[in-house]
Structure 1
Amino acid sequence: MSFTVFRWILWSAVVVLFTGLGSVVGLMFLQSASQRPITPVSSTGVADIGGEFTLVDDEGQRRTWSDFRGTPVALFFGFTNCPDVCPTTLGELSVLLDDLGPQGDDLQVVLLSGDPKRDTPERLNEYLQSFDPRIVGLTGAEEEVDRAFKVFKAYRAIVPLDSGNYTVDHPAGVYLFDRKGDFFGILDSHESKDVQRQKIERLLAI
């Protein structure tokens, strides 16, 4: 037998040996993996929006998120110097509350100001006189308002104006929460009034 043939036979044997070992190891790994307990992953199916805060309402009273438990909430982010979106949305919510009749008493509409520097409790109270009296305004110190916006996953940005004044960017939608404080959905400003009312009625029914 020539040396070349012998070397070829030797290498073939090595390849077969390692292939067999690989198959055995792979089989052992699969058997071990199949016997490992599977850790269940649980999900509530509820968006993680909302959480505890401490703010001041338009009557000067300290309020927390827990104070609203047991009542469905329609939460709107805005500020009293807002030129269009805020008064329009609050006006529409006032009409919606009126249209709901007695059911409207079971819905708490809240305006959370993104402009604590200018929106004192007194200023909020004066501003809300133009809307349904059941609407509650919330404000607070800068850090308190900042935390509240963060727990609701809502953006807030101070935007300087050429006049030297400023405006505040904030979400345009109304956030809905059920009686347990869980996120329910959003009233989008582009939705029809019928669609918005149906959402509110479903919220009140649970």
Structure 2
Amino acid sequence: MNPAVMSRFTNLLFASLLLAACSQADPAPERGEPPLAGASIGGDFTLVGETGEPVSFSDFDGKYRTIYFGYTFCPDVCPTDNQRAMAGLKRFEKDSPALGAKVQPLFVSVDPERDTPAVLTEFTDAFHPRLIGMTGSKEQLDKVTSEFAVFYSKGEETENGGYLMDHSNQTYLFGPDGEPLALLPTADGPEAVAAELAKWVR
């Protein structure tokens, strides 16, 4: 793993843990500045979407964006994280339809060997009708994950050719101008995700 990427991810993770501890100490914090305001993460990219056509991060300028990096063959973490994140988004959409419509959820697969457009479509449709899946070449993914402070690596193949992907599992929230805002607390369930969205989506 690139040491610089790992260092950026470790710093972000440490910061998010500190912020979580603060929020536990104060159950009703002021909205204030977003936790990731000013962080050097994110940036425009173009990958292949569910229709086989190019999809760019900037296609959704003007909207808030959630983004998660994982893979559809993930046995537990990815389905759980995406279920909670998208259930939280649905809850937020129900409570605030106009604001919920401003959020575009994205899923980036780090397993392009197996995650074809058809496979991505089946996966994303299981969690939210507006969740868009995409992937790209290893070179493209290396660049994007570096910019988004995400790590991933392919595990050893089994005798039958199967393998797992090791990857970070944070769900980012970005603002209308592509600026990083916060990490969605998927570990705390859909209600916590909806509450976090309500803090920053305006």
Shared fold (TM-score, shorter chain, > 0.5): yes
Q: What is the CA–CA distance in structure 2 between the aligned matches of 1:96 and 1:190, rounded to whole Å?
A: 11
Counterpart in the other structure of 2:150: 154
Q: CA deviation at 1:96?
A: 1.6
Q: CA deviation at 1:161?
A: 4.5
Matched, 1:74 2:70: no
Counterpart in the other structure of 1:170: 167
Q: CA deviation at 1:70?
A: 0.8
Counterpart in the other structure of 1:122: 118
Q: CA deviation at 1:158?
A: 0.6
Q: What is the CA–CA distance in structure 2 between the aligned matches of 1:65 and 1:86, rounded to whole Å?
A: 21
Matched, 1:196 2:196: no
Unaligned 5+ runs, structure 1: 1-44
Equivalent residue in structure 2 for 1:132, among 128, 134, 139: 128
Q: TM-score, normalised by structure 1?
A: 0.72
Q: CA deviation at 1:141?
A: 1.8
Counterpart in the other structure of 1:95: 87
Indicate the larger mover: 81-90 or 121-130: 121-130
Q: What is the CA–CA distance in structure 1 between the aligned matches of 2:200 and 2:127, rounded to whole Å?
A: 22
Instruction: Give the structure, 1 or 2, with the largest relative contact order (CA under 8 Å, sep 6 or more).
Output: 2
Equivalent pairs counted in the alignment come to 162
Q: TM-score, normalised by structure 2?
A: 0.74
Larger Rg: 1
Q: What is the CA–CA distance in structure 2 between the aligned matches of 1:144 and 1:192, rounded to whole Å?
A: 31
Q: What is the CA–CA distance in structure 2 between the aligned matches of 1:183 and 1:83, rounded to whole Å?
A: 28
Counterpart in the other structure of 2:181: 184
Q: CA deviation at 1:122?
A: 1.8
**Could you say what the CA RMSD is over the residues aligned between the two structures, in angstroms?**
1.9
Q: Percent of pairs identical after alignment?
A: 34
Q: Is the 8 A contact 1:72 1:203 kept in 2?
A: no
Indicate the larger mover: 88-97 or 133-142: 88-97
Q: What is the CA–CA distance in structure 2 between the aligned matches of 1:125 and 1:179, rounded to whole Å?
A: 25
